[in-house]
Amino acid sequence: MIKNLIIFGTRPEAVKMAPLIKEFNKFSDKFDTKVCVTGQHREMLDQVLDFFDIQPDYDLNLMKVNQNLYSLTADIILELKMILEDFKPDYVYVHGDTTTTMAASIAAFYSGTKVCHVEAGLRTYNKWAPFPEEINRQITGRIADFHFAPTVISEQNLLQENVDPSKIIVTGNTVIDALIDSSKRVDDIDNEEINYLKTIVDCNSKLILVTGHRRENHGDGFLQICEALKEIATTNSGVQIIYPVHLNPNVKEPVYKILSGIKNIQLIKPLAYPAFVWLMNQSYLIITDSGGVQEEAPSLGKPVLVMRETTERPEAVAAGTVILVGTDKNKIVEKTNYLLTNNEFYTQMKSLHNPYGDGKACEKIVHFIGSIK
C-alpha cells in the first residue's frame, strides 16, 4: 500500500488538488491517501472542500488575524512535523507556489519523505514578481523528487535547472480536470450565490468579469486598474462589469472609492468556487491578475486580459488565449474596447486551443506514481 499525504492551504490549491484526491481514492486498494489542510485561507478553503465533498484528515487551522509570512511559514513547518511522524507517508504532494507549498516541501524534506510537486516548473525568474510565489515555487522545485509539469515550457524550465528528465512528467494542469467536472454541475445545483448572480446579471449586456488581488498591484496599480474600469463602464453603455472584490483593504478601499455608484458596475463579495465557475461561463471576457483564471477561462472560450507585467504562464500568451495589459490604464481600456468592438478578433481569440491540457492530468499523475518501482 502506497501512503500519500496531499497538503494544501488556499482555495486555488484546493480546487486544483480536489480532482487528484478523487482520482487516488478510485484506487483505494493500492493507495492510502490522506488530506492535510493548513487553513492558510479559511472560509474560501472550506467552501471548496464542501463543493468537492472532501473531508480533511488533518486540519492545522493556522489562519490568524494580521497573519504574516514569517509566522505562517514557521507554524506550517512545526505543525507538519507531528503529522509526518504520525502518518509516515511515502509521498507528500504539494501544489504550485503558495507559502503552504514551500513550507510543506521543507517539512517533508526534513522528514525524509519524497515530495511530488503538482503544477511544477512555472517561472518568471523575477523573484519579486509575483511575490512571494516565484521564490516559493523555486524552493519547492529544488526540493521536489517528482515534478508534474503542466506544459512543455514548464518542463523545459526544469530541464534548464538540471532536473533529472526521468523525474518530470508533462500532465496538463489539474485545474482543467476540476473545471470540466464543475462546469457541468453548476447549472444544476441549488446554490444561494448562483441564484443571487442570476438576479443581477444583465443578459442584454456584454458581461466583463474582473478579479484582482496581487500584492504587486497594490497602490498605484490598483488606482490605474480602477480608473480603467471606470472609463470602460462609462463609455460602453452595453457593457456590464461584475467585480467580486477581494477583502484585502489594499484592494477593497480603492475599488469602492473609485467604482461605487457607477450604474453598470456591480461590486460584490468574493465568490465561492461554483458561483465563480458559473459567472465565468456567463462572461463575454475576463480581466484578471489571477494565475488560475489564465488557465481556466480559455477552456470555457473566454478571452482574458491579464493585469500583470509578466506571467509565469507564457504558454497562454504564446497561444493567444490571454493578452498581457499590465496595470496601465490606457492599455487596459484599449484592449478591452478592441475585444468589445472587433467581432472577428474576439471570435478568433475565444476559439483558440487551451495549452493547459485535456482534463486528464490527474489520471497521468496517479498512473505515474503507481508505476514507480
Per residue, the 3-state secondary structure of 162-193, as one string, reads CCCHHHEEECCCHHHHHHHHHHHHCCCCCCHH
Specify whether the CB–CB gap between 294 and 288 falls below 8 A: yes
What pLDDT score does 221 carry? 81
Give mean pLDDT, residues 279-305: 91
Per annotation, catalytic residue among 42, 218, 246, 367: 246
For the chain, how many residues are written?
373
Coil, helix or strand for 195? Answer: helix
For the stretch 61-95, pLDDT in tens is 887 777 889 999 999 999 999 999 999 999 999 99
Give mean pLDDT, residues 234-244: 96
119 annotated active-site: yes
Specify whether the CB–CB gap between 276 and 179 falls below 8 A: no
Give mean pLDDT, residues 191-217: 89
For 336, half-sphere exposure in the C-beta direction (CA atoms, 13 angstrom radius) is 33
pTM summary value: 0.84
296 annotated active-site: no
What pLDDT score does 290 carry? 83
Positive or negative: CA dihedral 268, 274, 280, 282: negative
How far separated are the first and last CA of the chain, in Å rounded? 13
Confidence of residue 209 (pLDDT cuts 50, 70, 90): very high
367 annotated active-site: no
The whole-angstrom separation of Cα 137 and Cα 154 is: 12
Per annotation, catalytic residue among 23, 75, 133, 193: 133
Per annotation, catalytic residue among 23, 97, 134, 177: 97
Confidence of residue 19 (pLDDT cuts 50, 70, 90): very high
Per annotation, catalytic residue among 41, 137, 147, 213: 213
| pLDDT surpassing 80 at residue 168 | yes
Give mean pLDDT, residues 10-32: 95
| pLDDT surpassing 80 at residue 217 | no
What pLDDT score does 314 carry? 86
What pLDDT score does 65 carry? 75
213 annotated active-site: yes
More confident residue, 6 or 42: 6
What pLDDT score does 315 carry? 87
What pLDDT score does 248 carry? 77
59 annotated active-site: no
Per annotation, catalytic residue among 42, 215, 218, 367: 215
Coil, helix or strand for 94? Answer: strand
Specify whether the CB–CB gap between 176 and 361 falls below 8 A: yes
What pLDDT score does 213 carry? 73
For the stretch 116-145, pLDDT in tens is 999 999 999 999 988 899 999 999 999 999
Neighbours of 221 (CB within 10 A): 22
Confidence of residue 250 (pLDDT cuts 50, 70, 90): confident
97 annotated active-site: yes
Specify whether the CB–CB gap between 148 and 177 falls below 8 A: no
- Domains of the chain as residue ranges with CATH: 2-173+357-371 (3.40.50.2000), 191-350 (3.40.50.2000)
pLDDT cut 70: percent of the chain above it: 98
What pLDDT score does 156 carry? 97
Kindly provide the residue ranges of all beta strands, DSSP E only, lying in the chain, ordered along the sequence. 2-8, 31-37, 58-59, 91-95, 114-118, 146-149, 168-170, 206-211, 239-244, 265-268, 285-288, 304-306, 322-324
The whole-angstrom separation of Cα 278 and Cα 188 is: 11
Q: What is the grid cell recorded at 274? A: 461554483
Per annotation, catalytic residue among 119, 296, 312, 315: 119
Q: What is the grid cell recorded at 366? A: 496517479
The whole-angstrom separation of Cα 360 and Cα 357 is: 7
> Which region holds residue 326: left if phi is over 0, alpha if psi is between -120 and 50, else beta?
left
